[in-house]
Structure 1
């Protein structure tokens, strides 16, 4: 349907209701004129109004009867006049009706909504074309055939129940909201309103109503509510208190932070409250403490509220400090913001207290600085601030120690005053990096401008100068003290050497007794090979023990090069002690050796280990002057966690443990920590050197193990030597001849000034298939080398020789053949000397005495390079 249908009444299909009303006026007028013509005939009057006089007589005769007819005619004429007026009024009414219809069509055309009408059964009789244009389809496909079909389009069931009740009762209703998806996919929201139509008899004849498109309004309302929720959420989320008043002083928005700041009036901070009401409530609930009128106070606060002055700080009723600021809005309202500054106030108070204390501290520091400046200047030690580039401060003592004026030190490099200054600077500079890497102290020589040398003890620690890392140096002149200490040490060393001489003589006499005794036994019966072999083996063992003793003496004098370790079966070594100990122990000492675990092996120097066990056994002997039991026991065990806690440098695992126990009086508790010190002894002068346990400790350390004292005072002593256990060595390979090429022995130049040693070495080399050329010293060796045209595969040379020593010989041979292998043999050599001998590739050093196998293995290694 369209707007043009608005002037046509809608009827339901198959039913047409008759319309009642007056007859057309044209029919009434015609009837009236017909009656008037009849009367004129009777009177003899023509239609033109002329009387036919020939009939006058008849008329006169009938006048009496015609009076009634005249009156009727007059009534008919009056009726005709009234009828003409009614016809004019009817035409005017029709014109007005047409104008009303035209106005209705115009209003309908320009209306944003549409119109509708239902019958008494609520079925639609009329739906204007505006709805069709809005929906883009037949409205009945959406709205159905009846008002009751709208229930499926109402979102809220309770709302539809109320509207349905109005519709069923025939009551007017407004703004029934329906929502659905339109033909174009958009969500539409429509609102319907209607009034009931009733007949003259009051019966309900249906609804007439209109509808509007509320989609845009609804979406705007939803968006507005969403934005309102977002704004309120944002305001509630901020840490500051926030309140907004309208232009007329009404509260619009207030967040929880603001309410928490005013707990006494939190219930008043609701939308709609006026600022005056809130102020009065605050005054009545304790916010006003003055003596004047509350109303005046409220007026003053209102005035200040509207002035928007600068932010003020105040403590509110929640007990916290806030910075309160008020700002005018564009609409004339007021925004009030509370910033919690309690922490800031606390910090300000703390800062004020700190400032006061700082002033006191500064005064104290000034006094302390003056006092410490005096202490620094008067200190007997040199105090220097060095920034790793130059000296920045030096006290008088430092200047005196270095032999210069105090002002001459500042700005000068530290290296200029110290011997080896650049290397010392590099070492001392690490002190600025922190206490972990800083050296605690070191000693060096200071070189004074006058040439005098002074010994200094320098302590370095990190410091700060002008915000940058620096080093604080404390200089102590120890020249005189070191001189006195040196003299005392020399005196003590001479005394120790004197004490040690007796012990060494005792030990060597024991070894010489064994060597000489077994040699004589072998001579007495040379035809008995088993007896001779036993004597020779014991002589070899005694010589090895003597070598171990000289090695320990070299350790003491710092002349030993290194310890040569090998995998040793410990059980046979321990069992062999019985033969050696028997002549050394008194008749009252009962020796028990329990060493049955032949699988126990360690990486040790067998000679030093033998000597260590001998020292422990002799100590046990001395601890039992009246006799007793001496036990040497061998076990393989895995120590517990407590052992490794005491010895953090040791690796967990299996250890071979040798315990030497006696039944003496034990070791007093007060000296247990000192027994491992060199030269410490409790024996009478001449009966001990104080080096025995120190050598045992060194043997344990060099073997990667530890030694401990077990037992308690008064119940004997047990010394436990713990050595890391290793796997047994593989079966030794067959000793092949020493050859340089297949079937050709090596040619060796042998140099040694000791004839017996040279003879022994020659026999060993010759047994290995070597051709040997001998020389008694380095000069003779050069002659033999040149005579042979340098056709030697290797040189075996002693280090210490007359005329030309081994090192000088090596340098001379280097000019002839840089690739010539040289094996040095020496009874003693410092580590520095050994490093110089082996600095060049193709050179090795072996300590004397040297076993045949050791000599040949070293030569094989050299020739294999």
Structure 2
């Protein structure tokens, strides 16, 4: 089979190096599979991928080996069936069962290591039912094989149930998983050994392993340099044979002492003598190895060649001995005394330090230089001098003028029994050290009082100083922190950016970055880091400070969210004003259409023409419903204000839904709110909830769940921004949620969700006013609405209404008795010619005398001259020159008892309600008919 016949996954070897043959024991596996075939009667096949080499084949049937695979005509069917069998195997424990074109049933499962398929484990060459002999005889004829032998081989093929075959293949899939796990462990072992080998052979140090008797078991390439032998030549030789003869005894003694102790890590320095005669100084680190019983089985060691260092140290000591004497004679005080401590010689510098002449010093005991207090605290140690030690001490010399000088006194016994003392004036040094100490304490105090985390890093990114806040936030000790790189405190996705800013600070002298600071427990905290380049002691450093910006980031996120909500609110308010204006003007047009259609209907006798007039009326009413939705969105629609039981409204909505929606949709309610009364228009609230429920229904084309919930929340939960809260009704709110688990919506849909005429439905399936009217209803009830939705995750609409406590619901409206209307003189004021003419006709038909004006200013002028003759003024609200409001107050100034009726395309809410409160007798919302006008006049007149 060609490699390209199957594409299961990346056909490379694991890490480009290892095939399945490198990772499992093929011979042992073949023995196991042969026993499996003997016990179960099932065949096994173990194929390498991508080569498709058959590594193991046990129990294979003659019908396949002697006929199907041997015959060129049928073997191509075997190859094609193998492609189908293996091509979709992508994951561990995945099974593939195929009936090959030659009639046999085969199954396979993959062996996946590190996400790559390295082999397949297969079984098969079986049947699920008794063979159709005619088919196989025909097949023998087609393939040109001996029919009798072919049928005899076929009879040996086992017939098994599909479930038994699948269980067997399941078992083999578990074997495949075990093989994958074993292969992975072998792969990791190979990698570990490779890593160990690279590490050991890559170091310049000597690395060895010896047994308990000191014989080499392993030695790396450094043996050639140290011992003058190849690593192979060292194996079996004793390590102590290479120790320099002069160091052998002391090394063996030190090693034995270590063995008697706790056997931690043995460190030692000695000389090694190589086979080539070269001597090397080595610094050893040796630790024991233990067998499975906890007994020492050998020792592992590393040794660093310190030959050059030792030569340098010895040369340095010789140089220091020669030259330090000369330097000290020049700059330090020197005294020579007898073994009893009597001064026999003093140089000029010593005389200056003591404040005495040479004659005053010579012959005196050395103790005369110091006060009794100094000697009591630090006696002169002649006993140590006699042992050959150099005695160093810090003392204060009191001069004859009572001044003091602090000296470092270094004394040693000479070969002739005399002593030599060198006195170095360290008064200035002590003052400087005190100053440095105070300066360090001050800088530590300042650094630790900084509000953030302070750090200093070198050019390699290593921390060399941090403050206490750094340790407090990171949860590391000072020792741990100063052993780490600064990038260790940042996550992988931010390391590159932080590294760039560090480089910038070194190059430009300053840089800053916002990043998450990782503490020891994995917690990430948002910080703003600033770093400044500095050069101290000829070393380039970065000195920086990190400030915790968690609260700032949260505040910015909250601010952005509130600003977005405010922008959305302002946009919806602007759209609402536009929609309200359109609806007002449209209502004026509908007023004329509906009015004249009603007049036509009443005057026509021809049934056909009356039907046409009635059709006009129906169309106008539908248009009126559309303007009603627009006015609801703009919060200028007709609006009642009565106590409303929300639970009752929800139950009514659910009752309507249960009789109209798909039976696959389940409706649930969780009504936890108490109290349940709000103030508003029950019809508008019911319509809003019904619109949301229908929207939820449309999001569930295959069924699902719609849930209604209620709960009491605070004003802060309902209004997120300070501006909204300032305008909101104080107190608790009713939160109503309409929830579905449907298709959800994307951000673009949510952006335009409440805009008039926006719809995602097909043409003719919706007007796009449902959610716009819901938005208007919520706003006119001084509430709030929020939507949470993501594609594929359902939708939650949350509505918030001010609670009004436990007010009872209003009683049913009383029947208004018809009143007899007396004939009156009425002043009609409207800027729309059609509306003015129509209403004038209505009034005249009632028997009233009608006077008309085009605007408020004209009406006020007329009313000023003849107000005593006018019984009623009918005013439009929106007019040029002077609107209805101003005209009403001008007339009221002329006649405080003026009777006025307001007509408007807007609702009673807002300005209209204010005019009613100021004394207007009634209000009619356009468009209205003859009957509504008659009823209202009856109430007013």
- Normalised to the residue count of structure 1, the TM-score between the two structures is 0.30
Q: Which has the higher contact order (CA 8 A, sep 6+)?
A: 2
Q: Give 1 or 2 for the bigger CA radius of gyration.
A: 1
